[in-house]
Amino acid sequence: MAALLEVENLKTYFKVDHGLVKAVDGVSYYINEREIVGLVGESGCGKSVSQLSVMQLIPTPPGRIEAGKIHFEGRDLLQYEAKGPEMRSIRGAKISMVFQEPMTSLNPVLTIGRQLTESLELHLGMEPIKARERAAELLSLVAIPDGANRLDDYPHQFSGGMRQRVMIAMALSCNPRIIIADEPTTALDVTTQAQLLELMKDMVSRFNASLVIVTHNLGVVARYAQRLYVMYAGRIVESGTSKELFGNPRHPYTIALLKCVPRLDEEEGTKLVPIVGMPPNLVNMPGTCAFRPRCPYQVERCHNDPWPELRLIDGQHYVSCYVET
């Protein structure tokens, strides 16, 4: 089965005063139709930048997509101008994004209704009256009570969870094939987090779309994602099905992330194990494995050999590590 989206050797760099930040450095992954995929890693590992690169939303300058291919529906999206008509016809219509912080993503001086109807009028050619009716339906679809009467409200009149629901409604408005959810549950209480994740899972099923959940928390994607990609310092260090990664994590970083997540099957009083040290400076990257200074499993080879490429372990399970953990 051909992948709906296939990213090959993507490199996105940022030129700053003190050097070149290699935020995404040779990332390759794929997304199948009607699939939920998790992209996991600490803040600054490049997961959000990789998804903004797909949408060609990297601020230039200082950012620039240096290399790679992004195949979608048989076309390489990087062949299009970021602000050209081809990308505008895809962005928001066929690939949409739920941004990390809705209060800064929503325009504070425009009503919710106007922000919902804009994409409907632009991409689907709807008349204003029809677009407003559809916007009210979308608000009801994401469980916002009395949606029709809330179209004239502004973002500050909604709670954090409701603003995130509005963002989901906007992402679904044009029936996209892929939805990218960038930290969709940040700053929300656990009850609202669960409601939003269940909502997105239901919407993906209803609209036959694929979903990419970008998060730092493996616990968030444990219930929903079918496959996972674990990123560290701009690269993918482990990938596979959820069953493979949660049942048999092989990269020390994945193991460390799992130890940071509370478990219901642990004995009372069991302490979480933090990851020691700090992520590397992406300007002065070591030639060896970037996780080596924080890794409890390192061997002599880790000090001398270059960062290992991903190798197949079993099934769909790949890992970038010299050590047999």
pLDDT tens track for 146-205: 888 999 999 999 988 888 889 888 988 888 999 999 988 776 777 777 887 888 888 888
> What is the per-residue pLDDT for 197?
83
> What is the per-residue pLDDT for 161?
83
Residue 325: exposure state from Cβ atoms within 10 A (0-12, 13-18, ≥19): middle
> What is the per-residue pLDDT for 39?
95
Residue 319 lies in a domain: yes
Task: Give the Å distances, CA to CA, from 279 to 21, 39, 175, 186, 284.
Answer: 13, 17, 38, 21, 12
> What is the per-residue pLDDT for 183?
85
For 50, other C-beta atoms within 10 Å of its C-beta total: 26
Residue 319 is part of which domain span? 226-325
In total, how many domains does the chain have? 1
pTM of the model: 0.91
Non-local (6+) Cβ contacts of 30 within 8 A are: 3, 5, 6, 7
Contact 96, 174 (CB under 8 A): yes
> What is the per-residue pLDDT for 31?
95
Residue 322 clears pLDDT 70, i.e. is over it: yes
Residue 28 lies in a domain: no
